[in-house]
Structure 1
């Protein structure tokens, strides 16, 4: 089964408008780990995040490491899986930590490890990644394109069709990804404060109570 997965991946995504999955032992190991861990929905989503990000980087003439971008894209949502069903960290941090452990186990430099860590940890934080290393910026670009269609018109119809042909969205990705987010965060609602992740809990759970920053300020122990 593992060999079949890798062969199919190599055939379907060898080259999409000049972008391909890095042909390295590190990339193959990451692919297999994520394929064995994530659902089809999350695995295909992660692969598409890589292609949207890499195609954007190519279009903009950015200098980035495709291997690091691929690893970051592959690991960026692993924190939503059942393996982290008891974690109290933000799911983004779980994914960043998992990628860090994986990369350190393969002898990758500390600087490159930290770049991947930041790319994953910050991928749901708006306004910051675009000012950092291209790999960090491009993971957020790819995730934004795939989940909410941010930058949709910047890709040609042919590019979109090619990526979706290799890694399909399925019949109802929109509701599927919302449910994946919810399943990965419902046991740690406090971690969604200050992010748009609390929108997911509010959408899925009518009893969810959002924290309010102004209320927290007013309820602080300071006298004034």
Structure 2
């Protein structure tokens, strides 16, 4: 398995998602988004998840944390809901049908669930699994080490642990009824620091 085996969707929505991410997010947060997409695609292969909408998965992965940035932060909505609505707006402009663009919201919101049944939402399951690896260090040995090292070299972790840790603590303090509070209470800051990917 190599990065070159996983093509980036060549679509208006995919290009737009990456443009938004790189314009508004820090390099560390955008690298996290791209790693999450690659981990998701890899877990689809390793776990045999089928019927995946690759464009939907890419757009959702690239935008899944955009609701944390100042320009899209919402005073009352959780950051994953805010980011999901950015995804709806982007894909509406790209001509997606209403039902499909609302799937972006579903997938982004569900990435913060403790788990997602793949039979209910394959893309949500894959993004939750991928972000659990990149943030909390879940299932680090389930992907080929050569692939993991290639992804980390292409999209370095940089200051992700410090940046995302501070971000989610801020979100939890301002919006205590959202998933950010559960993440903080679940020790996400310590998990970020102890993530085995930090050592590769």
Correspondence for 1:122: 110
Correspondence for 1:36: 23
- 2: CA distance, partners of 1:30 / 1:18: 21
Deviation, structure 1 residue 191? 2.7
Runs of 5+ unmatched residues, structure 2: 191-200
* Cα RMSD for the two superposed structures: 2.4
2:38 is the alignment partner of 1:51: yes
2:20 is the alignment partner of 1:20: no
Correspondence for 1:133: 121
| Aligned length, in residue pairs | 188
Deviation, structure 1 residue 123? 1.0
Deviation, structure 1 residue 181? 1.8
Give the TM-score normalised by structure 1.
0.75
- 1: CA distance, partners of 2:189 / 2:144: 34
Deviation, structure 1 residue 142? 1.1
- 1: CA distance, partners of 2:187 / 2:68: 13
Runs of 5+ unmatched residues, structure 1: 1-14, 204-224
- 1: CA distance, partners of 2:73 / 2:102: 25
- Give the 3-state SS of the residue equivalent to 2:178 in structure 1: helix
Correspondence for 1:87: 75
Deviation, structure 1 residue 85? 4.4
Correspondence for 2:55: 67
